[in-house]
Chain A
Amino acid sequence: MPTGAILACHECDLLQHEVRLEPYGVARCHRCGAQLYRSRPHELDRVPAYILGAFILYVISNAFPVVGLSIGGELVQATLLGAVHGIYADGDWLVALLVLLTAVVAPFVQMIAMAWLLLSLRMGRAPKNFSKVFRVLAFVRPWGMVEVLMTGVLVALVKLARMAEVVPGIALWSLAGSMLLLAAAWAAFDPRLLWSKAGEAR
């Protein structure tokens, strides 16, 4: 059933009418198949919950060692920031900066922006710079690479396992949890609803 609103596909520019979706439905462009929007019930309850969980776990991931190596009774451990510092101390500041931005800064900015947008809407008001924060979120999204980082740590673990005894740290588990919660948050997220809610609250 059409709602009267029109929208343009962001991948092929075709104009089409918005239709009302059943819960958890997805609307796709009828020409190119791009996902246009979707219905995600209880978005304002679920997404902040997932994001807060992911945020707490990500703080833990940054505060504790991710992996350790035990050689002859001596334990060498590495935290996320320790790894960044190690590369920086090696003189490879470009790689260090890249890891810092994609593994620490971008995920945190993304989580804080998302929590801020959804929590303030949940409390029934649209913050003044709502659209600015939303733009930051859209800009940062491709650069937050928590799941790639997780896989990278696992590959490093397996590589080192042949040289010495590997000791997984607390942060490895919290990183895995954070990755899953972040994926759940994105899956429960529908930006269109956010904009209509922001319009109502204004």
Chain B
Amino acid sequence: MKPQAVTAARRGLLACHVCMLVSHPGRELDHVCCPRCGAALHVRKPDSIARTWAFLSAAIILYIPANVLPMTDVRTLFGNTEDTIMSGVVYLWTSGSWPLAVIVFVASIMVPMLKIMALVFLLVSVQMRSVWQPVQRTRLYRLIELVGRWSMLDIFVIAFLVALVQLRALATIKAGPAAACFGAVVVLTMCATLSFDPRLIWDPVEDDHG
């Protein structure tokens, strides 16, 4: 039999998520506060799986209008053009600025999609109590935590385009309905990432070295 990993939870200890102090909860297990900083202590993030699924399913639903509806609406003397995220990338590519097309493609299309897929994978593997590659799965979580914020890029770009291109009769740019949906997807996937507890990946793992 492999040696059991000594985790705080198995020893009945609680680690504070604010100041990192490891403490003994005493007799009652509800509403325990950290003796050093006073933050509420939990063995694992409360309702981690349910909350992450909730944020994630809302994000998946909004991901559809964010990609199908127009992101920007450009009005010039020669008529209107509405651009979705993808057609904006295609436009950048065909007009010759391919480095920019790659940046926008990665930040607005690849990152949100891969993030949603990775979170679904992590949640399903945790719910199946999988012991497969816990180190790699923890790394995957660290990666989505790190790159998730970069999806906000397109929102900032649109904000400055709208503010600058108000040239009276010549041309105006308006944010389309997809902008709000896309912003919501970014916020919801970030909330999903924050409410997921990576320690759940390790709970089924008995071996000290993964």
Contacts and interface: CB of A to CB of B under 8 A. Distances in A.
A32 interface: yes
B21 A102 contact: no
A72 B36 CA distance: 63
Interface in A1-57: 6-8, 10-15, 31-34, 37
A8 B164 contact: no
Contacts of B170: 71
Interface in B149-199: 149-150, 152-167, 170-171, 174-175, 179-180, 183-184, 187, 190, 194, 198-199
A95 B100 contact: no
A10 B20 CA distance: 8
Given A92-B179, A92-B180, A95-B180, A149 B156 contact: yes
Nearest to B186: A98
Interface residues of A, number: 60
B22 A6 contact: yes
Interface in A97-121: 98-99, 102-103
Given A32-B135, A90-B175, A148-B153, A155 B104 contact: yes
Chain B contact residues (Cβ within 8 angstroms of A): what range?
A: 35 or more
A199 B104 contact: no
Contacts of B153: 148, 151-152, 155
Interface stretch (B9-17, B53-61, B112-120, B122-130): B9-17
B110 interface: no
A6 B14 CA distance: 12
Given A12-B201, A13-B9, A159-B161, 14 more contacts: A11-B138, A12-B138, A13-B199, A14-B7, A31-B135, A31-B210, A37-B20, A78-B164, A86-B159, A94-B183, A148-B156, A152-B152, A156-B161, A159-B100
Interface of A: 6-8, 10-15, 31-34, 37, 66-69, 71, 76, 78, 82-87, 90, 92, 94-96, 98-99, 102-103, 130-131, 134-135, 138, 142-143, 145, 148-149, 151-153, 155-156, 158-160, 162-163, 191-192, 195, 199
Interface of B: 5-9, 11, 13, 15, 17-22, 36-39, 92, 95, 97, 100, 103-104, 134-135, 138-139, 141-142, 149-150, 152-167, 170-171, 174-175, 179-180, 183-184, 187, 190, 194, 198-199, 201-203, 208-210
